[in-house]
C-alpha cells in the first residue's frame, strides 16, 4: 500500500488570510491522522506565506504523539530570514521522519521543478550528511525523466520524490501517456539503484489511481492542494478516506 502524507499548507494559507488561529492547522492534521493518514507534510518557506516555524514545532509534537510520519519540505540553501530560522534549523530542532529537499524560491507560487543534481549535487552533499547524522530520512524532489539518478545514488539519498505536475497537467488534458511513462521509467531507475520512490504535486482523486497503476511501488504520496479543495465539498475525514481507498488498490 502507498502511504498518504497530507500536506496542511493550505489550512495555514486560509488562517493567515484572516489572522488569528483559525482554522487550526493542528486540528486539521489531527483530523487527517484520525481518518487514517500515515503522515503529515509541511513546506515552510522563508516568507512564511503559509506554514510558520511555530506550526512546524506544533506539528512535530503532534506527529510524535500520534506516531505518524512527519515530512518537512523545503530548500536547504535558503538563508534564515526574520523569524524563519532556515530549513536545517527547523529540522534539527524537530527531527522529522523525513526531509524532502526542494529547489524553490520566493518567486515561485508553488514548487515547479526538481533539483538539477549535476549542478547542485556537491553543494547539497554536506546538508545530506547533516540529515543523516540527525537520523532523518532524505528525499530529493526530482523531475520525471531526470538524467541524474546515478548522482542521487552517489549522494546517498534514501528516496526521491517525483514531481508529478506535468503528469497531472497532461491527465487534465486527456492523455497522460507520455508523462506517465517518464514517471514510470524514473521510478524503475531509482528502484534499481536501491532508492525509494515518493511522488507529489497536483495529484488528486481524479488522477491518483491512474498514476499508481502506471508507476510501480510508490512508497508515499504527498497531497495537499487538491485534497483540501475537495474537502471543502465533502469534508476532510471522508476525503482522506477516499484517498486511502485509492492508495490501497
Q: Kindly report, residue by residue over 182-233, the tens digit of the pLDDT.
A: 999 999 999 999 999 999 999 999 999 999 999 999 999 999 999 999 999 9
Q: Which is catalytic among the residues 161, 201, 220, 230? A: 201
Q: What is the pLDDT of residue 112?
A: 62
pLDDT band per the 50, 70, 90 thresholds, residue 180: very high
Mean pLDDT of all residues in the chain? 95
Residue 218 is classified by DSSP as -
Q: What whole-number percentage of the chain has pLDDT above 90?
A: 92
Q: What is the pLDDT of residue 141?
A: 96
Dihedral of alpha carbons 190, 192, 194, 199, sign: positive
pLDDT per residue as tens digits for the range 38-54: 999 999 999 998 999 99
Q: What angle do CA 88, 93, 95 make, to 5 degrees?
A: 85
Q: What is the pLDDT of residue 93?
A: 97
Count of structural domains within the chain: 1
Residue 182 catalytic? no
Start-to-end Cα distance in the chain:
7
pLDDT per residue as tens digits for the range 126-149: 999 999 999 999 999 999 999 999
Q: Which is catalytic among the residues 43, 161, 182, 230? A: 43
Residue 220 catalytic? no
Q: What is the pLDDT of residue 249?
A: 77
Q: What is the pLDDT of residue 105?
A: 66
Enclosing domain of residue 225: 3-248
Q: What is the pLDDT of residue 114?
A: 84
Residue 79 is classified by DSSP as P
Find where cell 492542494 sits: 225
Q: What is the pLDDT of residue 14?
A: 95
Q: What is the pLDDT of residue 73?
A: 97
CB 164 within 8 A of CB 199: yes
Q: Which is catalytic among the residues 50, 73, 161, 182? A: 73
Dihedral of alpha carbons 27, 29, 30, 35, sign: positive
pLDDT band per the 50, 70, 90 thresholds, residue 109: low
Q: What is the pLDDT of residue 106?
A: 61
Indicate if the pLDDT at residue 6 is higher than 90.
yes
Beta bridge partners of 101: 74, 140
> Distance (Å, rounded) from C-alpha 97 to C-alpha 76?
16
Indicate if the pLDDT at residue 107 is higher than 90.
no
Exposure string (b/e) for 17-50, b if CB count within 10 Å is 16 or more? eeeeeeebbbebbbbbbebebbbbbbbbbbebeb
> Distance (Å, rounded) from C-alpha 78 to C-alpha 52?
15
Residue 43 catalytic? yes
Q: For position 75, which CATH number holds?
A: 3.20.20.70
What value does the mean pLDDT take over residues 4-31?
96
Cell numbers at 207, concatenated: 488522477
Amino acid at each position: 500500500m502507498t502511504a498518504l502524507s497530507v500536506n496542511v499548507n493550505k489550512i495555514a494559507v486560509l488562517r493567515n488570510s484572516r489572522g488569528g488561529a483559525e482554522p487550526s492547522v493542528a486540528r486539521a492534521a489531527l483530523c487527517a491522522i484520525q481518518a487514517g493518514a500515515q503522515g503529515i507534510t509541511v513546506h515552510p518557506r522563508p516568507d512564511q506565506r503559509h506554514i510558520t516555524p511555530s506550526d512546524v514545532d506544533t506539528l512535530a509534537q503532534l506527529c510524535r504523539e500520534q506516531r505518524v510520519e512527519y515530512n518537512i519540505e523545503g530548500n536547504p540553501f535558503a538563508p534564515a530570514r526574520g523569524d524563519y530560522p532556515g530549513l536545517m534549523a527547523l529540522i534539527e530542532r524537530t527531527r522529522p521522519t523525513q526531509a524532502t529537499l526542494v529547489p524553490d524560491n520566493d518567486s515561485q507560487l508553488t514548487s515547479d521543478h526538481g533539483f538539477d543534481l549535476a549542478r547542485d549535487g556537491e553543494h547539497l552533499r554536506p546538508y545530506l550528511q547533516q540529515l543523516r547524522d540527525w537520523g532523518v530520512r532524505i528525499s530529493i524532489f526530482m523531475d520525471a525523466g531526470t538524467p541524474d539518478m546515478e548522482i542521487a545514488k552517489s549522494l546517498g539519498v534514501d528516496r526521491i520524490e517525483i514531481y508529478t505536475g506535468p503528469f497531472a497537467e497532461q491527465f487534465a488534458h486527456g492523455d497522460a501517456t507520455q508523462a506517465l511513462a517518464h514517471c514510470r521509467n524514473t521510478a524503475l531507475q531509482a528502484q534499481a539503484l536501491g532508492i525509494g520512490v515518493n511522488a507529489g504535486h497536483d495529484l488528486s482523486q481524479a488522477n491518483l489511481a491512474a498514476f499508481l497503476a502506471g508507476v510501480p511501488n510508490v512508497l508515499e504520496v504527498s497531497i495537499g492542494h487538491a485534497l483540501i479543495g475537495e474537502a471543502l465539498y465533502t469534508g476532510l475525514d471522508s476525503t482522506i478516506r477516499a484517498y486511502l481507498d485509492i492508495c490501497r488498490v
